[in-house]
Structure formats: structure tokens, C-alpha cells
Amino acid sequence: MEDIIEDLEEIAIGLPGDIKLAVASIARRRKLLSDDVLIALADASWEILDVSGSDVLDFGLIKAAERCETVVVKVLGANSRQGEQEFLTEVLLLGRLHHKNLVALVGYVAERGRHMLLYIYMSNGSLASHLYGKGYEPLSWDLRLSITLDVARVLEYLHYGVDPPIVHRDIKSSNILLDDFMKAKVTDSGLSRPEMIKPRASNIRGTFGYLDPEYISTSTFTKKSDVYSFGVLLFELITGRNPQQGLIEYVKLAAMESEGKIGWEEIVDPQLNENYDVNKLNDMASLAFKCVSGVSKTRPSMRTAVQALSKLYKKPKRNHSQTSSTAQPIIIGVCRCS
């Protein structure tokens, strides 16, 4: 127990990003997280990285030494209404999701009311940190376009690649993580549910600024609700503006002059310094504007969005040696070491 707590107290060791993450080294141990480890996780003075609308706390990292993965531990907060069976159902749901642009789940803990999910750590942080954080280089136009296509492909997979279809429910820039090669990985899909959530549920889930207005009025979340959030994300990347600070209202004013098809360069992020293709910008903004339509039936499907974005993005040639592998999830409640 003492050596575990000692490991957990190794904090702030210079990991990437401006947030000092709590780190523990659990070297070459291939076993279940014991009750002692759980107590140590709960009692350690780790910095809380995020509190989402679903009472999820990020408690930093378990950094496994040498041959082990580095993982983020997501701990459901005490206010979560999720029961044991519901949690295990979600874990099984996550276990059947396999996509290169989804953050890999490598384990979970469900013991005595403690619910934890262990995800692969993404070294370049969140998209939100690159858009709004200090000390980051501005994202290029090509990189922004690449990120939107990565996210679109994940949503297309969730909507059409699994049975029954899955809706994410919380697409936003802080849930888009970036790996070593700046490829986008979508996280928090543990909040997903099969499409057509039970109508008029008492609790609205999601993030203000990204929420489908039809969902707010009906409490029914569908694939087209994810499409709306994706459209907001597109405009966030185009403008560099925070959706929680009146982005869509700003977009609608611009649309009155652009007629939804051309002239969108008036709202482009000044950090791009005009280094973008105007035609591609207008095409991307036109797609985004369709996605944020107030009438869900008129929004495109994510399959249509992927097709449209694929035409805009020309994939750069990459050295074959630079490809990174995607870890396969292990849904047995352990921290995986290879």
C-alpha cells in the first residue's frame, strides 16, 4: 500500500500542456486494480482537470512505466445517478466500438459504487486548448479541415457502423483530443446511448452552445442532434470563437449577408492570416450552416458530411514510419501492459 501511495504522489513531472497532471507509476503490474489502489486513487491530492455536465471528473493520469500505456482515469462524480448495471451496460457498449478516431478505452473499475474508466492518454491535449489556451501555435487551415473530417468519420461510424446506432450527445472541442501526429480522437463516447433517447427525459445532457434547440424543447436526442453539435464545431474551427459566447448568433448575422453559400471569409479566424482556400472555406461554412439548421429534418446526415469534407481535404503524404498504432480496448477492468 505504501509504495502505491508513494507512486501516486509523483506529481507534475513536466508532461505536455499547461496543466500539471497528477502521475503515478505502476510498473509492470498485470493485475486488477485492488481496493488499496482504489483508495489511493480516491485519496490522492490530484488536480481535478474537468467537471462535465455528467458529473465526470478527470483525476489525472496513471503513467505506467516502460512497457505500459499512459492512461487517463475518468472518475464518475458522487452526484452521478448512474447505477452499477447502467455503468456496466455502457462499458459493454464502449467495448464494441472500434474506430481509429475514438480514444481507446483500456479498462474500467466498477466496485462498491466506484466507477472509473481508463482511456489512452493523448499527448497533444484537447482541441479547445489549442484554440483558446496560451502557448499554442495557431492551427493551420489544412489541420482544421483534417480535424473536422476525423470527427465526422467517428460520428458516421457511430450512426451507421454499429447496430443499434449510437449518438454521442456531447460533441465539443474539449472532447476532441489530439495525438502525437495531431490526428483527432473523439472522447466521452461513454455518454452515448442508442439513438432515440427516451423522450422527455428529466435531465438535459450536453454542453450549452452546442445543444440542438430541438433537443432542448423535446428532450429527444437523435442523430441529427449530433449533426447540429458538429455544425457548431465546424463554425468554431472556422471562426476561432467559443460557442458558449454567442457563436451561432454571430454566424446567423453573417449568413444574412452571405446567403449561406458565399462570403463566409468575413467571419474567418484572424489567426489564419488569410492562409486558406476561399472556395473551400465557403464550402465548409455552407455545410456547417446546413448542420445548424433549426429544423432537424433539413440537416444533412453525417454520411453526407463526410462525403462533402472528403472532397475538400487533400491528405498530405506521410512517411510510412510515422504511422501510430491504435491500442485495442481491454474491457476487463485492468491497466494493460504489453
Question: What residues are annotated to the active site?
Answer: 170
Q: Are strands 176-178 and 114-120 parallel, antiparallel or unpaired?
A: unpaired
Are 167 and 174 contacting, i.e. CB atoms less than 8 angstroms apart?
no
The set of cell numbers assigned to 34 is 485492488
SS3 32: strand
The set of cell numbers assigned to 196 is 432515440
The set of cell numbers assigned to 42 is 480516491
Are 223 and 301 contacting, i.e. CB atoms less than 8 angstroms apart?
yes
CA angle 99/104/110 to nearest 5° reads 130
SS3 60: strand
The set of cell numbers assigned to 234 is 465546424
Q: How far apart are the first and last CA of the chain?
A: 24
Q: Is 85 exposed, middle or buried (0-12, 13-18, 19+ CB in 10 A)?
A: exposed
Q: Which amino acid is it at 309?
A: L
Torsion angle of C-alpha atoms 140, 142, 145, 147, degrees rounded to 10: -70
> What DSSP letter does each residue of 294-338 carry, written as one string?
SSGGGSPPHHHHHHHHHHH--PPP--GGG----PPP--SSB--B-
